[in-house]
Amino acid sequence: MFDKLRLTNIFNLLAIILVIAFFGFYNIFEETKKVIIDTNQKSHLDYIDNVTSNIGNAIKQTTDNNIYENLKKDKALRKNLEYLLYFFITDRYRYIYVLNKEENGSNEFQFLLDGTEDIDEKSEFEERFTPLDINKWNNAYKNQKSLYFKQEGNLDEIWMTYLKPVVVNGKTEALIVVDFSLKEHNQIIVSLQKFESFFEIAITLTLIILFFILLVSFIDAKRAKVNEKLYEELKMKTQEISEFNLTLAQKVDDEVEKNREKDKQMFQQNRLAQMGEMIGMIAHQWRQPLAAISSTSSAINLKAKLNKLDNVKVIELTNKINEYSKHLSETIDDFRKFFKDEKEQSETTYNEILKNVLSIIEISIRNNMIEIVEDYNCDDKFLTYPNEIMQVLLNLIKNAEDILIEKKVEDPYIKISTYVKEDNLILEIEDNGGGVPEDIIDKVFIPYFSTKLKKDGTGLGLYMSKTIIEDHCLGSLSVCNRNDGALFTISLPKTEDSLSI
Amino acid sequence: MKYLIIFFISLSILFANDNYELKLYEKIIPSIFKHKVYVYVDKKSEELLKNSDKFLIVDNCNNADILIGKYFDNLEDSCKNKPYFSTSYKSYKNNKNSFGAFYWRKGRPQIKFREEIIKKQNLTLPDSFSKYIR
């Protein structure tokens, strides 16, 4: 549940709670405000009502219910009662006075008592008085009901008038008037109104904020929906790509496997071709010992027929036959060794490898009147696959021999050089067969590319040689033309890295 | 601060009352004389009426159409029969020749007119003021 709860939702919820809380507070405040104002006003009026009731009772008691007549007669009584009125006058209760109406139906009131002390402000007994809102006064007088209202014509608008009729035997004898201030009451109202304004502004602002939050949330939700859709699409595409990658990887693996298989086949093809060539070479090598064995056995046969065969001669001649047989056996060993699969590297030198190669091929080369020039300047040992290097060298020397024979070069030679250059062990095979034409020199290592006639070449020799030197032995094989022939250069690393392979 | 506010409120009430009074004078007096009124006034009334274009304050009461004020010390005898409009209850009460008065009582404006003096001095009041005639 919680993982689906987003931050915007929390904000929305908080904003709504805030608005509801503000509305709640506002309503509570409105109620409280009403109660405060009503209570304050009521207590105020209750107090005035009590004061005026007491004053009215005092007037009635002291005048024996004959208010006007006794006050008219008794100046001292007026003074005493005016002192009583004065007693209640404060900043809040500015004027307290008692009026009555003449029985002649006049619209004016006349003063009976005035609690004011100020001589200029004090009204005389029987002084005529016409309030602006006289109808209200008449109502209070006539209806014998207390009344309060805001003074008309009063400019500071904080003065109220409270009218309390003094009723004797069902007849209104006087009207007690209290002019009281609403200043404090108004201050409370103003303060409450400020609070109310604050609440109204706060609610308005909160509503605006809520509106914006909801708007932003709406936009956000819409965006989230789009994002979700995009995310789904992305997920789908990613899955498709993953699946495609898996297929692709499988395809690549398949292709690599195919290539490997192809290379294997090429190797096999190349080895078979080399085997054919070597069989030719062995045939060359075997011809002489076989002829020697044949002539020796003929010599034994002839001497036996002539009875000239003694033991010493037999031993001498059979020893020769044994030597020739041993030579043949060694040739077979070399051949077998050459085609033996090597799984692990072994330590060797260029000299060792070249010795083995030349033991196979030298006779054939020399029979073709080709000079072999050996210039060995590298005795360093290194780890490699010697048989594979031998295959390469056999291939390169055989190619040189072929071209020299094919072009019937005068004074043909094959020069084999070894030396150390920086961190590399270099072996060069150079001939004077005219070199590789420049337009095909970049293509000689491409599989199935051959300049030989189809029956003589597979087009795999140089490709396989490059693969062996560069992929298996981590070296390099390159070709260039030098002097009047081709120069093939094998470079193998002599560093520890290469040794550790 | 509190006193400053009270001071300004009092000042505004004072000026507002003055304005009320002036309007009242401008309504009553010119309607009686039907022309620009030459008035002889006491100090307080002078302050009030000098700003009105309906009154022309004169220095000599003999040149005045009407006297307006609370008390006039050493008033010439020739002026004693001129229409007199009181600005306090006491002067209105004590001066029986005063045809009318305007004053404040318990924060309320009081307007009074004496019918017999109005008649005696052949003055005509606007109808709207007839309710104040006694």
Suggest the residue from B93, B108, B112, B131 to mutate for an interface test with chain A (most A CBs closer than 10 A): B108
Residue labelled with tokens 């070249």:
A354
Nearest CA in chain B to A160: B107
Cα–Cα distance for residue pair A492/A5, rounded to 1 Å: 67
Q: CATH number of the domain that A372 lies in?
A: 3.30.565.10
B131 min Cα distance to partner chain A (Å): 9
Strand partners, B133: B113
Residue count of chain B: 134
Of the listed ranges A139-148, A360-369, B62-71, B76-85, the least confidently predicted one is A360-369
- A429 Cβ neighbours under 8 A, 6+ residues apart: A393, A396, A397, A400, A414, A415, A416, A487, A488
Query: For residue B3, is pLDDT > 50?
Result: no
Residue A300: predicted pLDDT: 86
A13 within a domain of the structure (yes/no): yes
Cα–Cα distance for residue pair A429/A443, rounded to 1 Å: 19
Which residue, of A129, A163, A181, is where some domain finishes? A181
A169 within a domain of the structure (yes/no): yes
Cα–Cα distance for residue pair B29/B65, rounded to 1 Å: 10
Q: Is the separation of the CB atoms in A107 and A115 below 8 Å?
A: no
* Separation in Å, CA B93 to CA A228, A387, A422, B108: 96, 154, 142, 18
Determine whether the interchain pair A179/B107 forms a contact, defined as Cβ–Cβ distance below 8 Å.
yes
The stretch A330-336 carries a mean pLDDT of 74
Residue B8: predicted pLDDT: 43
Residue A3: predicted pLDDT: 59
Query: For residue A485, is pLDDT > 60?
Result: yes
A238 within a domain of the structure (yes/no): no
Determine whether the interchain pair B13/A156 forms a contact, defined as Cβ–Cβ distance below 8 Å.
yes
Q: CATH number of the domain that A64 lies in?
A: 3.30.450.20
- Taking one residue from A and the other from B, the number of pairs with CB-CB distance under 8 angstroms is 46
A64 within a domain of the structure (yes/no): yes
Residue B13: predicted pLDDT: 44
3-class state of residue B81 by DSSP: coil
Residue B5: predicted pLDDT: 42
C-alpha Rg value of chain B to the nearest Å: 15
Task: Give the number of other Cβ atoms within 10 Å of residue B33's Cβ.
Answer: 16
The stretch A103-118 carries a mean pLDDT of 87
A220 within a domain of the structure (yes/no): no
Which residue from B74, B44, B77, B38 is spatially nearest to B57, judged by alpha carbons?
Answer: B38
Query: For residue A174, is pLDDT > 60?
Result: yes
Q: Is the separation of the CB atoms in A135 and A123 below 8 Å?
A: no
Query: For residue A336, is pLDDT > 90?
Result: no
Residue-by-residue DSSP string for A129-193: E--TTHHHHHHHHHHT--EEEEPTT-TTS-EEEEEEEEEETTEEEEEEEEEEE-HHHHHHHHHHH
Task: Give the number of other Cβ atoms within 10 Å of residue A328's Cβ.
Answer: 16
Residue A458: predicted pLDDT: 64
- A397 Cβ neighbours under 8 A, 6+ residues apart: A357, A361, A365, A414, A416, A429
Query: For residue A113, is pLDDT > 80?
Result: yes
Q: In this predicted model, what pLDDT tens digit does every residue of A64-80 receive, in sequence order?
A: 888 999 999 999 999 99
Tell which wins on pLDDT, B15 or A467: A467
Cα–Cα distance for residue pair B26/B53, rounded to 1 Å: 9
Query: For residue A498, is pLDDT > 80?
Result: no
Question: What is the 8-class DSSP label of residue B113?
Answer: E
Q: What total number of domains does chain A contain?
A: 2
A240 within a domain of the structure (yes/no): no
Residue A157: predicted pLDDT: 62
Determine whether the interchain pair A159/B107 forms a contact, defined as Cβ–Cβ distance below 8 Å.
yes
Which residue, of A181, A213, A237, is where some domain finishes? A181
Q: Is the separation of the CB atoms in B18 and B46 below 8 Å?
A: no
Q: In this predicted model, what pLDDT tens digit does every residue of A188-231 receive, in sequence order?
A: 888 888 888 888 888 888 888 888 888 888 888 888 889 999 99
The b/e string for B86-100 (b: 16+ C-beta within 10 A; e otherwise) is bbbbbbbeebeebbb
Of the listed ranges A162-166, A265-269, B39-43, the least confidently predicted one is A265-269
Q: In this predicted model, what pLDDT tens digit does every residue of A386-415 receive, in sequence order?
A: 888 888 998 899 889 989 998 899 999 999
Determine whether the interchain pair B89/A97 forms a contact, defined as Cβ–Cβ distance below 8 Å.
no
Which residue from A374, A429, A440 is spatially nearest to A404, judged by alpha carbons?
Answer: A429
Which residues 115-134 of B have a C-beta within 8 angstroms of A?
Answer: 131-132, 134
Residue A100: predicted pLDDT: 94
The answer, for B106 touching chain A at a CB cutoff of 8 Å, is yes
Query: For residue A467, is pLDDT > 90?
Result: no
A183 min Cα distance to partner chain B (Å): 12
The answer, for B103 touching chain A at a CB cutoff of 8 Å, is no
Alpha-carbon dihedral B59, B62, B68, B73, rounded to 10 degrees = 80
3-class state of residue B133 by DSSP: strand
3-class state of residue A422 by DSSP: coil
A219 min Cα distance to partner chain B (Å): 52
Query: For residue A154, is pLDDT > 60?
Result: no
Q: In this predicted model, what pLDDT tens digit does every residue of A353-376 receive, in sequence order?
A: 999 888 888 888 888 899 999 999
Residue B10: predicted pLDDT: 42
Give this complex's ipTM.
0.80
Q: How confident is the model at residue B4 (pLDDT cuts 50, 70, 90)?
A: very low
Show the tokens assigned to A2: 């919680």
Q: Name all contacts of A443-452 with Cβ < 8 Å and 24+ positions apart.
A: A444/A479, A445/A477, A445/A479, A447/A266, A452/A402, A452/A406
The stretch A229-251 carries a mean pLDDT of 89
Residue A297: predicted pLDDT: 87
Tell which wins on pLDDT, A153 or A186: A186
| Strand residues in A9-152 grouped as ranges (E) | 93-101, 109-114, 128-129, 147-150
In chain A, what percentage of residues exceed pLDDT 90? Answer: 35
Cα–Cα distance for residue pair A283/B131, rounded to 1 Å: 165
Which residues 58-77 of B have a C-beta within 8 angstroms of A?
Answer: none
Which residue, of A163, A181, A199, is where some domain finishes? A181
Rounded to 5°, angle at Cα A293 from A291 and A297: 115
Cα–Cα distance for residue pair A7/B90, rounded to 1 Å: 81
Rounded to 5°, angle at Cα B51 from B47 and B52: 120
Residue A122: predicted pLDDT: 92
A129 within a domain of the structure (yes/no): yes
Residue count of chain A: 501
Considering only CB atoms, B107 lies closest to which of A124, A128, A151, namely A151
Query: For residue A279, is pLDDT > 50?
Result: yes
Determine whether the interchain pair A153/B108 forms a contact, defined as Cβ–Cβ distance below 8 Å.
yes
The answer, for A131 touching chain B at a CB cutoff of 8 Å, is yes
Residue A287: predicted pLDDT: 76
Cα–Cα distance for residue pair B119/A75, rounded to 1 Å: 36
Full domain range(s) for residue A379: 341-499
The stretch A329-341 carries a mean pLDDT of 72
Alpha helices (H) along chain B: 2-33, 43-49, 89-94, 115-120
Cα–Cα distance for residue pair B61/A412, rounded to 1 Å: 164
Query: For residue B96, is pLDDT > 80?
Result: yes
Considering only CB atoms, B105 lies closest to which of A123, A151, A156, namely A123
A435 within a domain of the structure (yes/no): yes
Show the tokens assigned to B132: 């104040």
The b/e string for B109-120 (b: 16+ C-beta within 10 A; e otherwise) is bbebbbeebbee
Residue B9: predicted pLDDT: 42
Provide the pairing of β-strand A424-431 with A382-384. Answer: unpaired
